[in-house]
Structure 1
Amino acid sequence: MTLGTKIIASAHYVPSDVVTNDDLAAIMETNDEWIQAHTGIKERRMSLQGENTSDLATQAARLALAQIDLTPADIDLIIVTTFTPDGLAPSTAALVQRNLQAEHAWAYDISTACAGFVFGMSTADKFIRSGQYKYALVISAEVNSKMMDFKDRTSTVFFGDGAGAVIVSAVDEDENQVVAERMRTIGDAEVVHSGRVAPLTELSADNYPKTDAFAQLGRQVFTEVTELIPQHITEFLADQNLSPDDVDFYITHQANLRIIENIADQLVQPMAKFAANVVYYGNTSSAGIAMAFDELNRKEDLTGKKVLLTGFGAGFTYGSLLLQF
């Protein structure tokens, strides 16, 4: 029997602390007018109560599980996409597995930065189609705030914390929702990077691992994304005998509102087709698409609709996944 993949539940979770542009202006040289003009962001959530990435991921997973008649013991696979993990080892997914007491699930992380949810969904789809696994939990979670240099106003003002989760199930091919995909990577270590650990240059008792804060070349990121992503989307859709007009909803990485507007303009599509939560959540890296999908899933009847997920982030890694409901 040919199997397909179906999303049977979605949820998202954000920390309770709201950080406005004025809050940031109180600790760095910036202001609300500049931030909104350049990014479209008004506020974001930050984990200021000690919640780490695995905590946000666990909460989103529990909210998704609460929507359906499944228990953690029913989950076969847990994938967490993040580039702000609790640590290098154990994986954040392993901590979520423990927190949920999902005793039958094996778990691991995927690190493709802000493209994470698309790559996580693509990976889960392959495991589901193999016939060995029935239910997979895909979670994208980020605590970007812990990686920020709060003296770097060019980067810090963009970011917020949050998590989104979906549960996917094996179904007959006629119920399949994952129609097509295209993933790409262009190796680039400098445009966006975070958490790098330098190798030793000598043996010393003073050696201790140190990580760098998040950093990006903002103007270069904007240029690369707005030149590459609309072309990527157009060509991908053309390979499916579709045009941008045929897509009902677009969910792109929630980098900033100006990038989303630029992509919409180049595709000659109305912003009403583009899910956007960046205004009040900020750039939540890999979690943004997952969170926006959950919001769209709650607001719209997606029956019969085509939804395009497009992620792009450090690496430079990007990709699209076409869903048909």
Structure 2
Amino acid sequence: MPVYSKLIATGQYVPDRVVTNDELAAIMDTNDAWIQSHTGIKTRHYAMGEENTSDLATQVAQQLLAKSGVAASDIDLIIVTTITPDGLTPATACLVQANIGADNAFAFDMSAACAGFTFGLATADKFIRSGQYQHVMVISAEANSKMMDFQDRTAAVFFGDGAGGALLQATTNPDENSILAEKLQTQGNATVIHSGRVQPITAVAGTNYPKTDAFYQAGRDVFQFATTVVPKQMQGLLATAEIKPVDLQYVICHQANLRIIETIAASLQLPMTMFPHNVETFGNTSSAGVAMALASVFDDLTGPVLLTAFGGGLAYGSIVIKK
């Protein structure tokens, strides 16, 4: 008997610390008017002190359990998508597993940059369809602030910290299937976006110590990619799934930049009212942005939703879901 994936709960969380454009303008050459005109961003939230990526993800995991009524012991798999893990090992997902007491689960991290949530949902769906797993958490969590160069105004003003996620449950009822269609793609490119590159050693020496680089993006290249290549993927997926854009209830794009979302809406000839967005108050939360925007409208869903995200890799993925 075929098994399908049903979305049963979503959640989102941001740290308490709010950082305004004026606060950033005090430490770099920029200003509130420039940031808002070019990005639409007014504020963002930063994890501070001891709060790290696993803590943001744990907050979402606890929400998913509370909202669904599923016990932690019934979770089979936890996938955390992130490019700002607590560390290279153990996986941030394993830390979340320990924090919520999901002793019967296994857990791993996935790195697909800002496309992480769509890649994570598609992966979770395959595990559930195998028939071996009943409950899978997909949590996208980012503490982008810890990877920023605060002298680089082309990147630092964009990003904020946050987490969002969804809980999927196995069902044999095809009418309850939440994952309707998907398309995941990558273009191998290490120059347009990169972060946390670990430098190799140059000699065997006692002074060697691991070093990583800060986040970097080529803004114009990212904008061009997001507004030309990505809409073609979106349109192709909808055509394959035989879904007209006007039949969608929402289109939820990666919350990179309000101007990018506006351009994508225009290319699809759809009104901005169909595009939930949180980038103005949360900034670009990388892989968490789509998950957080989905959580904000999940209770009101009555029709199909197109989720689209894009980021370093270059990775980009679109997935059509319903409640």
TM-score w.r.t. structure 2 length? 0.98
Q: By how many angstroms is 1:37 displaced?
A: 0.2
DSSP-derived class of the 2:84 partner = coil
Q: By how many angstroms is 1:269 displaced?
A: 0.3
Give the percent of matched residue pairs that are identical in Structure 1 and Structure 2.
57
Rounded to whole Å, the distance in 2 between the matches of 1:27 and 1:295 is: 32
List aligned pairs for 1:33-112, cutoff 5 A: 33-112=33-112
Rounded to whole Å, the distance in 2 between the matches of 1:73 and 1:47 is: 29
Rounded to whole Å, the distance in 1 between the matches of 2:107 and 2:286 is: 21
2:208 partner letter: N
Rounded to whole Å, the distance in 2 between the matches of 1:256 and 1:50 is: 28
Q: By how many angstroms is 1:50 displaced?
A: 2.2
List aligned pairs for 1:1-325, cutoff 5 A: 1-172=1-172, 173-298=174-299, 300=300, 302-303=301-302, 305-325=303-323
Q: By how many angstroms is 1:228 displaced?
A: 0.6
Q: By how many angstroms is 1:243 displaced?
A: 2.5
Q: By how many angstroms is 1:174 displaced?
A: 2.4
Q: By how many angstroms is 1:240 displaced?
A: 1.4
1:311 partner letter: A
Q: By how many angstroms is 1:246 displaced?
A: 2.1
Rounded to whole Å, the distance in 2 between the matches of 1:150 and 1:140 is: 24
Rounded to whole Å, the distance in 1 between the matches of 2:67 and 2:48 is: 28
| Farther off after superposition, 167-176 or 35-44 | 167-176
Deviations 1:257-289 (A, max 9, x none): 000000001110000000100010000000001
Q: By how many angstroms is 1:157 displaced?
A: 0.2
Rounded to whole Å, the distance in 1 between the matches of 2:293 and 2:42 is: 17
Unaligned 5+ segments in structure 1 are none
Q: How many residues align?
A: 322
Rounded to whole Å, the distance in 1 between the matches of 2:97 and 2:242 is: 40
DSSP-derived class of the 1:185 partner = strand
Rounded to whole Å, the distance in 2 between the matches of 1:136 and 1:273 is: 28
Rounded to whole Å, the distance in 1 between the matches of 2:108 and 2:258 is: 31
Aligned-pair Cα RMSD in Å: 0.8
Relative to structure 1, is the Cα distance of residues 324 and 63 closer, same or farther in structure 2, using a 3 angstrom cutoff? Answer: closer
Q: By how many angstroms is 1:38 displaced?
A: 0.2
Rounded to whole Å, the distance in 1 between the matches of 2:68 and 2:244 is: 35
Contact 1:4 1:174 in 2 (8 A): no
| Farther off after superposition, 34-43 or 200-209 | 200-209
1:193 partner letter: H
DSSP-derived class of the 2:107 partner = strand
DSSP-derived class of the 1:108 partner = strand
Rounded to whole Å, the distance in 1 between the matches of 2:151 and 2:69 is: 47
Rounded to whole Å, the distance in 2 between the matches of 1:125 and 1:162 is: 24
2:309 partner letter: G
Which structure 1 residue ranges, 4+ long, deviate > 4 Å from structure 2? none
Rounded to whole Å, the distance in 2 between the matches of 1:150 and 1:118 is: 29
Deviations 1:190-216 (A, max 9, x none): 100000011122111111110000001
DSSP-derived class of the 1:163 partner = strand
2:70 partner letter: L
